[in-house]
Amino acid sequence: MKNIKNKINIAQIGVGYWGPNLLRNFVLSSRFCVKKVIDLSEERQKFVNKHYPTIPVGNDVNIAFDDPDVEAVVIATPVSTHYELTLRAIKANKHVLVEKPMALNVDEINNIAREASARKVIAMVGHTFLFNQAVRYIKGLIDKNELGEIRYIYSQRLNLGRIRNDVDALWNLAPHDVSIIQYWLGDPNPGRVTRVGKDYVQPGIDDVVFVSIDYPKNVMAHIHVSWLDPQKVRRLTIVGSKKMVVYDDIAENKVSIFDKGIDPLAILGDNMDYDDPSSLQFNHRSGDVIMPRLEWQEPLKIEIDHFADCIRAGKECIAGPQHAAKVVEILSRV
């Protein structure tokens, strides 16, 4: 790897639901060295001791912040602790990779951005789908105008379980889809955002949520998330004026490009007038369906490589506070 003088020493805080995936990738990475792991749970400490016996494990977060050899901190803890732990890491002059969302409101994220900028450290949020090969491939199609004008996007992120009690289905699942849509559209500022949700299992914690977002250029997005659905679905559909795309994260062929659409077809009017709106008819176009072959890599591996590039090579972080704030701002409106 270029621009690497030595491995980046990290400490990871939290090895719960997503933490083991992070830890595995950091351990396997040639660019990082995991110096410490911290978790309050004795069970999770035993998990680390069993699978990674050479890594010191503790339950005191100060171990990560006070060690001068630790250059970066990885935070995979409950959402309510993200802001405090991220800020503490930054004030200890550590780079930070924190799981999504970076914080629960825009003011907190803006404060993280200011502190990180003042100390010249990287603050990055774990929007892993920005590093997904299929998501990036579709971004290329949009940027090259292969799809034409984007008309609308809709997503479904559904499953039966895992039900959480610290956040609702919106904050647990929708950050993925909002992040992807923002990335595809170039991080615009949306207009109206509306939400409908219901709490069936735990009072005050919505299990199913529908969100509608109005974007500039007459683009509409609709997001459906639920952890009470009979099928596991992770699918986004883009309808463009030229072509349409389905991204199915579960399917073997994750990207399907449909050369389909409805085009106005001018018909010669009674007055020899092609421009008379009343004389327009429509052509239903149905062409080929293309399923491109993608060279698959684990998105989390690409994500932590990007984190290393930002630290060592000064690469601009595509999942920094600016992107994190846009996602949280949209979710906070509803």
Q: What DSSP line would sit under 223-272, residue for residue?
A: EEEESEEEEEEEEEEEEESS-EEEEESSSSS-EEEEEEEEEEEE---TTS
The whole-angstrom separation of Cα 128 and Cα 123 is 15
Partner residues linked to 97 by β-bridges? 74, 124
- Identify the sign of the CA torsion 324, 330, 333, 334: negative
Report residue 119: phi and psi, to 5°: -100, 0
Long-range CB contacts (within 8 A, 24+) of 137-144 = 137/255, 137/292, 137/294, 138/184, 138/238, 138/245, 138/247, 138/255, 139/183, 139/184, 141/243, 141/245, 141/257, 142/184, 142/185, 142/238
Q: Please give the structure tokens belonging to residue 255.
A: 């990207």
Please report how many Cα atoms fall inside a 13 Å half-sphere around the Cα of residue 298, on the Cβ side: 11
Name the H helices within the chain.
19-28, 42-51, 62-66, 82-91, 106-119, 133-143, 169-185, 299-312, 321-332
Asked if 271 contacts 305 with a C-beta cutoff of 8 angstroms, the reply is no
Q: Tell me which architecture the domain covering 133-248+255-290 has in CATH.
A: 2-Layer Sandwich (3.30)
Does residue 165 sit in helix, strand or coil? Answer: coil
State the virtual CA torsion across 53, 54, 58, 60 in degrees, nearest 10.
-150
The predicted pLDDT at position 2 comes to 39
Enumerate the domain spans of the chain.
8-127, 133-248+255-290
pTM here is 0.86
The predicted pLDDT at position 282 comes to 65
Mean pLDDT by 10 residues, the chain (334 residues): 69 95 97 97 96 96 95 95 97 97 95 98 96 97 96 97 88 94 95 96 96 96 97 97 96 93 61 54 75 92 97 95 95 86
Where does residue 149 fall: left (phi above 0), alpha (psi -120 to 50 degrees), or beta otherwise?
beta
Query: How far is CA 68 from its chain centroid?
Result: 31
The 8-class DSSP code of residue 205 comes to B
- Identify the sign of the CA torsion 63, 68, 74, 79: positive
The predicted pLDDT at position 62 comes to 95
Does residue 188 sit in helix, strand or coil? Answer: coil
The predicted pLDDT at position 275 comes to 54
Report residue 327: phi and psi, to 5°: -60, -50
Asked if 333 contacts 193 with a C-beta cutoff of 8 angstroms, the reply is yes
Q: Please list, in sequence order, all residues whose beta carbon lies within 8 angstroms of the beta carbon of residue 292, skipping any fewer than 6 positions away.
A: 137, 255, 257
Partner residues linked to 123 by β-bridges? 96
Long-range CB contacts (within 8 A, 24+) of 288-291 = 288/259, 289/256, 289/257, 289/258, 289/259, 290/256, 290/257, 290/259, 291/253, 291/255, 291/256, 291/257
The predicted pLDDT at position 166 comes to 82
The predicted pLDDT at position 295 comes to 86
Whether the link from the prior residue into 292 is cis, omega within 30° of 0, is no
Q: Which CATH superfamily is domain 8-127 in?
A: NAD(P)-binding Rossmann-like Domain (3.40.50.720)
The 8-class DSSP code of residue 294 comes to -
